[in-house]
Amino acid sequence: MELCIIGSGYVGLVSGACFAEVGHHVICVDNDQRKIDALQAGKIPIYEPGLEELVTRNVSAKRLRFTNSTEDGVRNSQIIFIAVPTPPQPDGSVDLSFIERVAREISNVLVPGEYRVVVDKSTVPVKTGEKVADTIRRYKKDATFDVVSNPEFLREGCAVPDLMNPDRVVIGSSSQKATDLMKKVYEPFKAPILVTDVNSAELIKHAANSFLSLKISYINAVSAICEAAGADVELVADGIGMDKRIGRNFLNAGLGYGGSCFPKDVKAFIAISKQLGTPFKLLEEVERINETQLARFIDKIREALWVLKDKKIAVWGLTFKPDTDDVRNSVAIELVNKIVAEGAHVTAYDPKGAEKAIEWKLIDGSKVKIAATPLEAVEGAEALILATEWKEFANQNFEEVKKAMHTPLVFDGRNLFNPETMRELGFDYHGVGRGVAGK
Ligand code: UGA
């Protein structure tokens, strides 16, 4: 099928590449000329395992191409996916101006009588689909089109496998013709398809991300109780997670959730539910717990080091999660900035994210040193903080690490290390919610 994706960010680019991989012809559109130039030159602007090979293969097979022209994309495709950013506004609601602009751009190109399906893939508040349809109709009265909601559930760091093997595909549509075409798009993925109305599909996305955030805040709140009572949150999570109704996934206690989705989507769900006159207070508590979690962790560091000023501290991990170079809304970065503000001298190491953290000025390059290896970061350090659970950190030679450090104090913000092993190695180990094996 002929598909066009407007917006070549995480969702747009990975979706485009995966659609091409299963045999569709895909045009990826972006108004950022630098991004298009880079993509046309074979350079992938983000680090996502497996993506580069996929893009290269499908560009050579002539199933995938890139352009800055919405007109080119819309004219030459049956189905137009909108995958532009929906950033948060100061009050927590979503800025839908990019979606609105794309709706107008699409309407400019639509030719009455030539049917198109316009699919919203960006994460949007419920009722956005109605507004997209109204906008297109307002600017092109006789346009023949349907608007569909098709939320995306991929996770950064495993976006390609998530997209190639989705748990489910949600198609929100009020038109049989559009639904049939969408089913054909997804047929090759052999995933369960749930067809709903447009509003329900939009709600599914916000409700899913908010529920996962709630799971994380739930276990983080439990981790605080574990610390106070003397229990191990990892064992508690295993025990409750073995109940199939609960499940062990997303019950990893740590520094809290970050990234460009959960914090934004929880806020947006709170905002839209308020707007609809049905405030979702539970989610306000989810946010509060998330903020407290980092503060509690920094208290723990202060408790051990007494004063942070002039302390040499190594931080492993800057990205918001492992296997990505994404440093946006990363709790690890927030942590670094907070301890630097208290006068700590931080040396950080991250396998993929350090360059972007400095380039995007998320951390101050004049105050935070970037190390080339994990071992270099801990040289002379009075404490080591594990902020992102990259696998490579678990596989370090900890005899060497201990030798390199000034004082062997470890704060494990993601419970990556085994407390007993660390203690046997001579570290003073502090995890999250590990009140039995260690605080
Ligand atoms: C999330 C959802 O998982 C995807 O399904 C969704 O499509 C995506 O948002 C989106 O809306 O685009 P993502 O933000 O890539 O995906 O990352 P997650 O793996 O969900 O992690 C989010 C945050 O939660 C990270 O900071 C991670 O460290 C934290 N987390 C996750 C925990 O603290 N504990 C856990 O048990 C799991």
Q: What is the mean pLDDT of residues 18-27?
A: 98
User: 81: CA distance to ligand 1 center in Å?
Assistant: 23
Q: What is the mean pLDDT of residues 36-48?
A: 93
Contact 374, 400 (CB under 8 A): no
Residue 439: predicted pLDDT: 44
User: 73: CA distance to ligand 1 center in Å?
Assistant: 31
Q: For residue 62, count CB atoms less than 10 angstroms from its CB and return exposed for 0-12, middle for 13-18, buried for 19 or more.
A: exposed
Q: What is the mean pLDDT of residues 363-367?
A: 94
The residue ranges of DSSP E strands in 300-368, in sequence order, are 312-316, 345-349
Of 11, 94, 155, best ligand 1 pocket probe by most atoms within 8 Å of the beta carbon: 155
Summary mean pLDDT of the chain:
96
C-alpha 287/C-alpha 266 separation (Å) is 8
Q: What is the mean pLDDT of residues 288-293?
A: 97
pLDDT digits (tens, 9 = 90+) for 329-356: 999 999 999 999 999 999 999 999 999 9
Residue 435: predicted pLDDT: 83
Q: Tell me which residues are annotated as active site.
A: 261
Q: For residue 316, count CB atoms less than 10 angstroms from its CB and return exposed for 0-12, middle for 13-18, buried for 19 or more.
A: buried
Ligand 1 proximal residues by C-beta, below 6 Å: 123, 152-156, 209, 212, 216, 250-252, 254, 257-259, 261-262, 320-321
Ligand 1 atom closest to residue 321's alpha carbon, by position in its atom list: 28
Residue 89: predicted pLDDT: 93
Of 18, 121, 156, best ligand 1 pocket probe by most atoms within 8 Å of the beta carbon: 156
pLDDT for 360 beyond 80: yes
pLDDT digits (tens, 9 = 90+) for 55-100: 999 999 999 999 999 999 999 999 999 999 999 999 999 999 999 9
Q: Which residues pair with 88 in a beta bridge?
A: 94
pLDDT for 438 beyond 50: no
Q: What is the mean pLDDT of residues 227-255?
A: 97
The amino acid that residue 272 corresponds to is I
Q: What is the CA radius of gyration of the chain?
A: 24
Residue 56: predicted pLDDT: 96
Q: What is the mean pLDDT of residues 409-437?
A: 94
Helix (H) or strand (E) segment spanning residue 384? strand 383-386
pLDDT for 26 beyond 60: yes
Name the closest-CA residue to atom 2, ligand 1: 155
Name the closest-CA residue to atom 31, ligand 1: 250
Contact 219, 248 (CB under 8 A): no
- What pTM was computed for the model? 0.95
pLDDT for 437 beyond 70: no
Contact 388, 414 (CB under 8 A): yes
C-alpha 276/C-alpha 5 separation (Å) is 31
pLDDT bin (cut points 50, 70, 90) of residue 7 is very high
pLDDT for 436 beyond 80: no
C-alpha 392/C-alpha 32 separation (Å) is 34
